[in-house]
Amino acid sequence: MHTAPSRPGLASGCAGVAILLQLAVLRLVLSTDAKTAALLGHRLILRCAVLARFGKPCPACGATRGFTFALHGEWSAAWHLFPAAPLAVAGLAALACALLALAWMQARGLARTAARWGSAVRGASVAYAAAAGVVWIGAWLIELAS
């Protein structure tokens, strides 16, 4: 079986660039204010069925506007609306940069350094995701209790 020649760092570099491009595109096409979100200037009609039915927010209430605020650098507004949003945006940007650094190390033939870096990135990603999940569910539980 014939396989394509390997290019060290290609996969991690492409993943890092893809994440950054997705964040940039979302920043360009999404906008928000305190009450509504918009895609390319067109207001999104987002209604939470859980909130409408039970009068209490679901775990994702405010996520779209929170992420959009965070993408536009309005960290405080994002945090107050949906605390996991600024953590997710910052975490994705950090992961993209870490993947690009890993790609650079792999392309330069720094195998040992790249292996240690890759292991650290994996561990940090899991820890960061767990912490963001705790913030997300914790904030939702606090909202339910109030």
User: Is residue 4 predicted with pLDDT exceeding 60?
Assistant: no
Dist. CA 131–CA 116, nearest whole Å? 22
Residues in CB range of 91: below 8 A, 6 or more apart: 125, 128, 129, 132
User: Is residue 5 predicted with pLDDT exceeding 70?
Assistant: no
User: Is residue 1 predicted with pLDDT exceeding 60?
Assistant: no
Supply φ then ψ for residue 6, to 5 degrees: -85, 140
pLDDT at residue 49 in the model: 87
pLDDT at residue 2 in the model: 57
Q: How far is CA 66 from the centre of its chain?
A: 11
Segment holding 96, helix H or strand E: helix 84-107
pTM listed for this prediction = 0.84
What band does 55 get if pLDDT is binned at 50, 70 and 90? confident
Residues in CB range of 59: below 8 A, 6 or more apart: 136, 137, 140
What does the domain layout of the chain look like in residue ranges? 10-145
| Predicted confidence (pLDDT) per residue in 80-131, tens digit | 999 999 999 999 999 999 999 999 999 888 889 989 999 999 999 999 999 9
Q: What separation, in Å, do the N-terminal and C-terminal C-alpha atoms of the chain show? A: 62
Most confident of 2-6, 54-58, 60-64, 72-76: 72-76
Q: How far is CA 84 from the centre of its chain?
A: 9
For the stretch 70-88, what's the b/e string if a residue is b when 16 or more beta carbons lie within 10 angstroms of its beta carbon? bbbebeebbbebbbbbbbb
Would you say the C-alpha torsion 91, 97, 99, 102 has a positive or negative sign? negative
